Structure 1
Amino acid sequence: MAERGVNEPPIIAVTGPQRGAFGPRFLVACAIRWYGGKPLQLRPGDTWQQHQYDGVVITGGHDIDPVLYTAEPEAVPKYDPERDALEAAIIDDALVHQLPLLGICRGAQLLNARRGGNLYQELRSQRRRTSNRRTVLPLKTLDIVPGSRLADLFGTERAQINSLHNQAINQLGQQLQVSGRDLDGIIQAIEDPEHPFLIGVQWHPEFLLLVRRQRRLFQALIEAASKRSRSSF
């Protein structure tokens, strides 16, 4: 593994599927570069252990296999076991080494599962006040928990978010706290206040980069990764 200089930008691993998802991964990479980071795209089959990076973004996509949180399947979605294996290993490594981590949509769900939590495998039965419609537009209301790290980043207790998921966090994993819910009370954001930077969001901030508070998620990740990178020298 090559030596890195003290003034080099923090490297942020960006995970995703073997094929597809070009748009979300490109937008995440743009957000990382926006704040001075260097994206490192990792896919199933890559030898991720050979790479050095200072932070992680687990992107969205297909549902995670319920076997990862010891549950029986209740729906018939698409699973990607190779991606599950890659991202589970990277999340576990990030947790062990206190790497800054942002989980987006399925990334937040998998983070919760790796901490021992589980998911609602379908949300239609959980909704009373919100729609099941999926859209990249910020048409859903997010209630942010006062005093949370997310509240500090967003500078508000209510925001508008998009919705592209059909599963969501049910029981929380260990050491995680809820930092945001939608109007049905469904968990939309989680965090670990004891970690340097560990946030999972159910929405897709990469599609909302024109909204300053959405960009702050990536800005805070890069700042935490930069601090960690400098401290290693």
Structure 2
Amino acid sequence: MPAKPRIAVIMDENTSVDGTRYDMTKKYFVAVHRAGGLPFGIPYVMDMVESVVDAFDGFMSVGGRFAFPNEWFAEGQVSKAPHSERLDVELALMRGFLERNKPVLGICNGMQVLAGLHGCRLSPDVRAMGPHILEHDKRDHLHPVAIEDNTRLFQIVGRRELSVNTFHREAVIELSDRVVASAHAADSVIEAIEVPSRRFALGVQWHQELFADQDHPGNTIFTALVQAAGQSR
């Protein structure tokens, strides 16, 4: 029996307190394992980056809250989040996997990192984008997202709408010519992106991992990640 694809999962931390602990839901690991992969948590150790990129078949960038570079934001705006040593390690990992054309999945904060790395622009406060903007930072709240035809995400989930959770403060508001928006909320907030030049580089704004133990159609995203990782060997 062939070995299961190995997925590197960068750890999150408790930046909302003091940043002294790795702190994340187990469901990221559950989601990857149920999709047929072997998930491994990766700490913020820059010396490990090259070895991780060499040894693993795919990369998942998880949710979190930390400051992004000022140039990633729309003119006149800057991050309102705390600084973290996670940023430099995460950028090195994501660049490494993308350069090897190994699959990358970004969830919430991870989608924003994927976007910023490819020249997109962010808003630090989604609610400040206008009075029409829905509440996007509310745990246990669900809203629909419309999935664009002719996108990788549509091929993966096989439907034009998903009901997803929503708790994020920042949002991608301007796309570069290297990135495609593959899903939107009803208020036009970008809910998923992909990088067509890569074999598998997908970001979703919602926390799909929280549906890992449910029969949710979006869980096929993890299946697609693991399958793409299996093809990286």
Deviation, 1:73, is 4.8
- Which position in structure 2 is the counterpart of 1:57? 60
- Which position in structure 2 is the counterpart of 1:3? none
Q: Say whether the 8 Å CA contact 1:66–1:73 is kept in structure 2.
A: no
Deviation, 1:62, is 0.3
2:159 is the alignment partner of 1:164: no
Deviation, 1:149, is 1.4
Q: Say whether the 8 Å CA contact 2:108–2:168 is kept in structure 1.
A: yes
AA partner of residue 2 (structure 2): N
Identity of aligned residues (%): 26
Deviation, 1:139, is 1.3
| Partner SS, residue 8 of structure 2 | strand
Aligned residues: 221
Q: Say whether the 8 Å CA contact 1:105–1:203 is kept in structure 2.
A: yes
Deviation, 1:173, is 3.5
| Partner SS, residue 170 of structure 1 | strand
2:104 is the alignment partner of 1:109: no
| Cα distance change of structure 1 residues 95 and 56 upon mapping to structure 2, 3 Å threshold | same
- Which position in structure 2 is the counterpart of 1:42? 42
Q: Say whether the 8 Å CA contact 1:61–1:106 is kept in structure 2.
A: yes
TM value normalised by structure 1: 0.87
| Cα distance change of structure 1 residues 68 and 110 upon mapping to structure 2, 3 Å threshold | farther
Deviation, 1:103, is 0.3
Deviations 1:30-67 (A, max 9, x none): 11111221112112125232231000000001043233
| Cα distance change of structure 1 residues 211 and 72 upon mapping to structure 2, 3 Å threshold | farther
Deviation, 1:213, is 1.4
Q: Say whether the 8 Å CA contact 1:10–1:38 is kept in structure 2.
A: yes
The match for 1:79 among 68, 83, 86 is 83
Q: Say whether the 8 Å CA contact 2:11–2:24 is kept in structure 1.
A: no
- Which position in structure 2 is the counterpart of 1:22? 24
Q: How does 1:1-233 map to 2 (within 5 A)?
A: 7-18=2-13, 19-23=21-25, 26-45=26-45, 47-51=48-52, 52-67=55-70, 69=72, 73-74=77-78, 76-80=80-84, 82-132=85-135, 134-137=137-140, 139-209=142-212, 210-229=214-233
Q: Say whether the 8 Å CA contact 1:191–1:199 is kept in structure 2.
A: yes
AA partner of residue 107 (structure 1): G
Deviation, 1:134, is 2.7
Cα distance in 2 for partners of 1:138, 1:12 equals 29
AA partner of residue 39 (structure 2): P
Deviation, 1:17, is 3.0
AA partner of residue 101 (structure 2): Q
TM value normalised by structure 2: 0.87
Which range moves more in the overlay, 61-70 or 174-183?
A: 61-70
Cα distance in 2 for partners of 1:75, 1:38 equals 34
Deviations 1:155-189 (A, max 9, x none): 21111111110001122244210100111111110
